[in-house]
Chains A and B, each alone.
Chain A
């Protein structure tokens, strides 16, 4: 068991100007499950591959425990990796796949067999040990890939989107299995995904990357409640947070027809560079439907209602102008009582629940207050 430390680790691909991973500083505790998450091309897989030794480190250092592994061969780093496409050896049986690293390392046959059988039992693969990967289902192959990592008993598990080739139902099921397996084995794990739901549900802590730069690290709760900047705010949470930039007059933001009083700390944080504007964000569940004309209420034209049984979401546009939208959509999302849904074309009035507004600098996108 060991900690993992990225110390200003940088990767610049030959022939490119911008680093794929830019001065990554990250410390992962012993036994921790850390999820690297971000949109595609953000450098999360590159970071993982740097830790694995499959990618050169052009600047900074990477430590496993107290040992600097920056220039150590992949096989000598005492890590095991689960690949997105599993990377099973097609010409070997499941048992040989799982025991291959040990075989290369010269472990006695009896011990290999015992360790493979133990791992197979944990993963429910015992009856498939003699099969070739081709004769397995996607879920079983995924478990073999996990087994191959477990058998090595490494200091660190590296997982590169291991669930992305499974169907939705199996993904949810395997998600919990991997998380509980990791807690049971207590092995430090770095897990890469682009799916923020996976990140929130599995990680002890989450690290959000964008364009090769670390945006924020924290527990799922921290990431959700206190996003450090507009990017994290928009990325974490499903459905996404409503975010818009509004004019501020006398310490009040003008959202639609409403004036929303900003916190003192937020108002003080606005600089001349922001040009008298502030970026506000509020999650769909932070909005209450009220009767029209209530204080601080703004109106939303309903374009679509999505009913999910336990929840219902209204998708609409902000009335009286103003650019307010959730994620990549151009719509405002409001969570409403599923027993009392408006019709398409209606107009509803909503207020923001107290203390649930996130304010960011209009210029830098950093959190205010």
Chain B
């Protein structure tokens, strides 16, 4: 047993453990397949459970149980076991600190997905069928390959502040100096700092939006575009009356997907300001409360709130996708 649990620093031991684990997995699958295949006329329930049973059990243990636990914890006082009812929620909606967090989150969800999708759409449309299409798309897609933390560090340099008179290292402040302004502490003041942090997110997500929307624009049948040309459309009219309606389903999917990513955003704010200067958002705040302020109850309440906000977006997303299937 000890051999299985503690590998220490011995690479050979680690390797053997890995082989053992893979072997265990294969053996387990073999047993399941063997058992499910055994009876001559198995009932549908038996086969269904045979294949999904283990996954269901793991989901139950890994997802449902923690969810229930979290909801229960949100009714408890700090890290104790004392039941305080809705107190944590009341605090979340009354204390100024948390109101700012909720406000920031609302700002993020409303602004970031729309800006990212809009930029992605315009870019995809302008670049479509141009000579530099592949290169131009590659440029915008590149940030997608950078981790959120990496991107945040890059942008922290962009916003870097040095007092007036000293050589600026931050790109933005250097521009300010060039145009004759004074260098600013960009990340200090609300709400500008929140918008500046959002820029990092938009920088990354625009590539995602552009890729999906570009594929969708390319999928518009050429004869429809030609028919529209014969009907007298060109330029903006074509974009507004043919392109947009044709890619509407993809637009909705992109918007809602980015909205969900927005709600889960944590690392950008964590890296840029660590939630200081009133830039915190729910996904960061519940980590702060849980692991730094030792207030598991409040953290759980915020997590539940986040869940409640995400659900309608997910439902809308799924519904739109179903609708698309109906039209097709």
Q: Which residues of A contact B (CB under 8 A)?
A: 52-54, 73-75, 79-81, 83-85, 87-92, 100-101, 104-105, 132, 134, 148
Contact = CB atoms under 8 A, between A and B. Distances in A.
Interface stretch (B110-118, B180-188, B219-227): B219-227
A148 B136 CA distance: 38
Q: Which 9 residue pairs spanning A and B have beta carbons closest together?
A: A87-B223, A75-B232, A87-B227, A101-B231, A91-B245, A104-B232, A83-B223, A87-B224, A74-B230
B229 A87 contact: no
Given A100-B231, A104-B233, A134-B327, A85 B248 contact: no
B271 to A, nearest CB: 42
Given A87-B226, A91-B246, A134-B327, A105 B221 contact: no
A153 to B, nearest CB: 14
Contacts, number: 57
B232 A101 contact: yes
A316 to B, nearest CB: 44
Interface in B16-30: none
Given A75-B232, A89-B245, 9 more contacts: A73-B234, A74-B230, A81-B227, A87-B224, A87-B227, A89-B228, A90-B246, A90-B327, A101-B231
Given A104-B237, A134-B327, A87 B232 contact: no
A54 B231 contact: no
Contacts of B232: 75, 101, 104-105
A74 B221 contact: no
Contacts of B229: 54, 74-75
A104 B109 CA distance: 36
Contact of B223 (A79, A85, A90, A101): A85
| Most interface-central of A53, A54, A73, A84 (chain B CB within 10 A) | A54
A84 B224 CA distance: 11
Interface in B239-279: 242, 245-246, 248
A285 B246 CA distance: 53
Contacts of B223: 83-85, 87
A275 B221 CA distance: 52
Contacts of A88: 224
A226 to B, nearest CB: 37
Contacts of A134: 327-328
Contacts of A53: 230
A204 to B, nearest CB: 24
Given A75-B230, A104-B237, A89 B221 contact: no
Nearest to A104: B232
A100 B231 CA distance: 7
Nearest to B223: A87
B231 A52 contact: no
A187 to B, nearest CB: 15
A72 B67 CA distance: 66
B226 A83 contact: yes
Contacts of B237: 104
A101 B232 CA distance: 6
A73 B231 CA distance: 11
28 contacts: A54-B226, A73-B234, A74-B229, A75-B230, A75-B232, A75-B234, A79-B230, A80-B230, A81-B226, A81-B227, A83-B226, A84-B223, A85-B221, A87-B223, A87-B226, A87-B227, A89-B224, A90-B246, A90-B327, A91-B245, A91-B248, A92-B245, A101-B231, A101-B232, A104-B232, A105-B232, A134-B328, A148-B227
| Most interface-central of B224, B232, B234 (chain A CB within 10 A) | B232
Contacts of B245: 89, 91-92
B223 to A, nearest CB: 4
Nearest to A54: B226
Nearest to B244: A91
